């Protein structure tokens, strides 16, 4: 089944695609146990009709498994709430991180931030992500790092965060967690899904007591480039089949997300 038709069948016609896809991402993050109570966030650029330079983010106080298309809050880069059907406002720390990226990176549609045990563990290690397997090679020499500055309530941190991020789409927030950026919600989700598996695999390898089999720098770079060219070779301008598959899973298990 084509996911777009299934979304159209399951959703209220008044809900824009941007809202439905972002709500699906929240449910999927909860489905895979990558959420952290009511904390961390996923944001996406809002439909043009909802405000210029505005983005969507979860209302403060909802678990990820409770987020729906209509409950997402629309906020602009200055922090002004443009639409809030839930009435709870937003987490100020989430606004700091997400507004920084949306303001500095017009190429980014979606920003995804997590605090998983594996992600926080790796972010707390000096070595960061090691090139130990195919999952990790996707990120070889393609990860940005941002030093911990406390809970992200200081808006001045935004300048330093985006300077550290640069043009990269994956960031390790040291002693804090992980962040991914995507041209679509699906791209940001897929990057985080693979980063999480990378972190879990690395922790498993390090705790096994075995000796990791090293991968050469040349092979690591080759594999990273293969990942980068995957869309061109396998999807072209067609919809992302992996994101379609994830959305079908979200609609199957959580049909209320489209309300």
As given in the structure block, the two tokens for residue 44 are 């996406």
Crossing angle of helices 185-208/17-31, nearest 10°? 10
- The pLDDT, as a whole number, for residue 230 is 80
Distances (CA, A) of 109 to 21, 98, 130, 147, 248: 12, 11, 28, 24, 21
* CA distance linking residue 179 with residue 5, whole number of Å: 30
Q: What is the dihedral of CA 229, 233, 235, 240, to 10 degrees?
A: -30
Alpha helices in 105-184 (DSSP H): 117-123, 134-137, 157-165
Taking the domains of the chain in order of start, what are their residue ranges? 16-254
CA dihedral sign of residues 153, 157, 162, 164: negative
Q: Which of 121, 117, 99 is nearest to 108 (CA)?
A: 99
How many residues does this entry show for the chain? 259
Query: Residues 251, 257: contact at Cβ < 8 Å?
Result: yes
Which residues on adjacent β-strands are paired with residue 171? 144, 179
For the beta sheet containing 170-173, the strands, ordered from the edge strand earlier in sequence to the opposite edge, are 81-83, 73-76, 54-57, 42-45, 110-114, 177-182, 170-173, 144-146
- The pLDDT, as a whole number, for residue 87 is 84
* 232 SS3 class: helix
∠ CA 187-245-123 to the nearest 5 degrees? 40
Query: Residues 190, 242: contact at Cβ < 8 Å?
Result: yes
* CA distance linking residue 113 with residue 165, whole number of Å: 13
- The pLDDT, as a whole number, for residue 14 is 74
pLDDT along the chain (259 residues), means of 10: 46 81 98 96 96 95 97 96 91 94 97 98 96 96 97 93 98 98 97 98 96 95 94 64 97 97
Query: Residues 137, 217: contact at Cβ < 8 Å?
Result: no
CATH of 16-254, picked from 3.30.230.70, 3.30.420.40, 3.40.225.10, 1.10.3720.10, is 3.40.225.10
How, if at all, do strands 144-146 and 170-173 pair? parallel
């Amino acid at each position: 089944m084509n996911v777009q038709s299934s979304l159209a069948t399951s959703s209220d016609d008044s809900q824009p695609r941007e809202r439905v896809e972002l709500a699906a991402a929240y449910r999927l993050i909860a489905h895979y146990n990558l959420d952290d109570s009511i904390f961390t966030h996923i944001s996406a650029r809002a439909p043009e009709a909802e405000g210029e330079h505005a983005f969507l983010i979860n209302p403060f106080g909802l678990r990820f498994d409770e987020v729906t298309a209509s409950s997402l809050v629309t906020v602009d880069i200055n922090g002004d709430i443009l639409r809030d059907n839930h009435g709870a406002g937003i987490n100020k720390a989430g606004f700091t991180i997400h507004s920084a990226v949306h303001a500095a990176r017009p190429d980014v549609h979606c920003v995804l931030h997590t605090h998983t045990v594996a992600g926080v563990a790796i972010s707390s290690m000096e070595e960061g992500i090691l090139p130990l397997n195919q999952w990790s090679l996707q990120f070889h020499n393609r990860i940005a790092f941002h030093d911990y500055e406390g809970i992200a309530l200081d808006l001045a941190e935004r300048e330093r965060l985006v300077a550290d991020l640069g043009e990269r789409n994956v960031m390790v927030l040291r002693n804090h967690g992980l962040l991914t950026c995507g041209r679509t919600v699906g791209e940001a989700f897929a990057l985080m899904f693979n980063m999480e598996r990378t972190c879990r695999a690395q922790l498993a390898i390090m705790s096994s007591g075995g000796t990791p089999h090293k991968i050469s720098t040349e092979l690591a770079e080759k594999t990273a480039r293969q990942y980068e060219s995957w869309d061109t070779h396998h999807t072209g301008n067609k919809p992302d089949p992996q994101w379609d598959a994830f959305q079908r899973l979200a609609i199957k298990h959580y049909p209320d997300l489209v309300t």
